Amino acid sequence: MIEPIILNVATEFSITPDARLKENGKSSAEQFREGVLERKFLLAKKNKTTLIVNLDGAAGYGTSFLEESFGGLARKYSTDAVLKTLQFISNDEPYLVEDIERYIEEANLEFA
Amino acid sequence: MKKFYSQAKYKRQSVRERNKFLRKGNRKKKYLYSSHPNPTQNKNRSLPSNKHYRIKVPDVFSMTKNPIEMVDFLNRLRIAFINKPGVYVDLSKTKQITADAVTVLVSHLRDGRINLGKPYLGNNPEDLKLKHQFAESGFYKYVRSNELNYSEKGNIIARHQYKVDDEIAKKLIDFGTEKLFGHYVKQGGTYNVLTELMNNTRDHATGKGKKEYKEKWWASAHYDAEEKKITFTFMDNGVGIFNSRELSARNYVFKLLGLSTNIDLLKKMLNRELPSSTEFPYRGRGIPSINANLKRQQIKNLVIISNDVFANVDTDNFFILKNPLNGTFFSWEIHK
């Protein structure tokens, strides 16, 4: 059985994630998703294992950052694929896990 | 025959008498701070000009406790800069000051669209305790001053920026929690609030179709040793929440007919019952997430003032302001 892949946001990306888009901040969700998250996600998917994203250790997370990172991933690779592959650890702020899962589920919503 | 007053002889006499008057020191220095150096304006900085328009701040100098008079004062300040050659801000008779008002005052005095490059002067509160409090607020970091002994023991005011600045957000939280708890304590709620507000200013504060101008924001943290709390303030002088979004046809008609107000819109935004003002349905989560931070008790006493709405979301006190605020103001607290 292949070991799950771990991604620690604070140590592998930034302890102060900020904006949604690259043009708006130094540690944006777009940079995180394109530079770190996507690579590990695809590796986990290829190896049929889980990607465990550890959110602890950062100063905090903006809603826009989380939505663009994980919702953006779901818009590119589908909600099912992302929910099947990703798991989250968030002992500092446990409610973030539920929030992120909701962002992933609603990522491909259209206006009524 | 030439009139007397235009003769060179009169002019020389006038200059002599004026210099004599100034040497006597009859005009005492009554100002303690002035505008940031602007070489095109007010070359004689040693004395206040008698053309400066004196504008008195409200007795209760606080956005959260006295929003109506404060917003009125800010609007009068704007008008004074438009109509007068300079402004003198009079804090001498103030009876109460809160840090949020100081942050807002700095944001207005340092905004070129408001001061129009004109000089401004001002004084301290006469009350010693308030004078000390004002000096500790960090105000003097942003104006020229004769007061050399100011400190920032109680507060910092971050530099204005027009991006989402993660370092400033962390710096404010570091400062606040060091004061309150004696060491850094993670404040995920406040970090979310700060970064979301910065994002919103960046994306929405200039209004529709004016993306070439980047709106600035101001943020501060103030430590209150008596009440053992940190108050965070965020301010931008943009178009305000309700002027930054287009209404749906239904909401527009309701508003036109007086069946709904901006208070109703704000309540819907807080509960994510209004779609995003962008074209993307998955957006519009910023203000609802701030409300969620409040419901989780990660922040307390959340106050929002924007356009014609005052809202203390914590106490469910919402009302319409007769004179609207040009911009967006948020204030919240963390307690020990």
Q: Does B293 touch chain A (CB under 8 A)?
A: no
With 70 as the cut, is the pLDDT of residue B315 above it? yes
Cβ contact B195–A106 (<8 Å):
no
Contact B63, B97 (CB under 8 A): no
Closest chain B C-alpha to A39 CA, distance in angstroms = 24
Q: What is the pLDDT of residues B13-39, one digit of tens each?
A: 777 777 666 565 544 444 556 664 443
- Contact list in B for residue A20 (CB cut-off 8 A) is 199
Query: Which pLDDT band holds residue B160 (cuts at 50, 70, 90)?
Result: low
Contact B51, B58 (CB under 8 A): no
pLDDT value at position B209? 55
What CA–CA distance (Å, rounded) separates B59 from B77? 16
Pair type for strands B217-224 and B229-236: antiparallel
- Contact list in A for residue B275 (CB cut-off 8 A) is 111
Residue of chain A nearest B287, judged by CA positions: A63
pLDDT value at position B122? 92
pLDDT value at position B153? 52
pLDDT value at position B147? 59
What CA–CA distance (Å, rounded) separates B157 from B232? 10
Q: What are phi and psi of A42, to 5 degrees?
A: -65, -35
Query: Nearest CA to B100 among B157, B147, B163?
Result: B157
Contact B134, B123 (CB under 8 A): no
In this prediction, residues B80-86 reach a mean pLDDT of 93
With 80 as the cut, is the pLDDT of residue B314 above it? yes
Q: What are phi and psi of B244, to 5 degrees?
A: -95, -5
pLDDT value at position B137? 84
In this prediction, residues A62-71 reach a mean pLDDT of 96
Name the average pLDDT for chain B.
Answer: 82
Give just the sign of the alpha carbon dihedral B68, B71, B75, B76: positive
Decide which of B33 and A58 is more confident.
A58
Q: Which two tokens stand for residue A41?
A: 């996600």
pTM for the complete prediction?
0.85
Closest chain A C-alpha to B259 CA, distance in angstroms = 24
Q: Which stretches of chain A sit within 8 Å of chain B by CB?
A: 14-20, 24-28, 59-65, 67, 71, 75, 92-93, 95-96, 103, 106-111
Phi-psi sector, B160: left (phi>0), alpha (psi -120 to 50), beta: beta
Of all residues in chain B, the percent with pLDDT exceeding 90 is: 53
The DSSP code for B141 is G
- Contact list in B for residue A16 (CB cut-off 8 A) is 166-167, 169-170
Q: Which two tokens stand for residue B1?
A: 């025959």
pLDDT value at position B271? 93
In this prediction, residues B206-212 reach a mean pLDDT of 61
Q: Which two tokens stand for residue B331?
A: 């204030």
Name the average pLDDT for chain A.
Answer: 94
**Inter-chain Cβ pairs, chain A and chain B, closer than 8 A:** 90
Pair type for strands B120-122 and B33-34: antiparallel
The SS3 of residue B255 is helix
Q: State the complex-level ipTM.
A: 0.95
Query: Nearest CA to B101 among B61, B131, B136?
Result: B61
Q: Where are the alpha helices (DSSP H) in chain B?
A: 8-23, 67-83, 99-109, 112-115, 128-136, 166-181, 188-204, 249-256, 262-270, 286-295
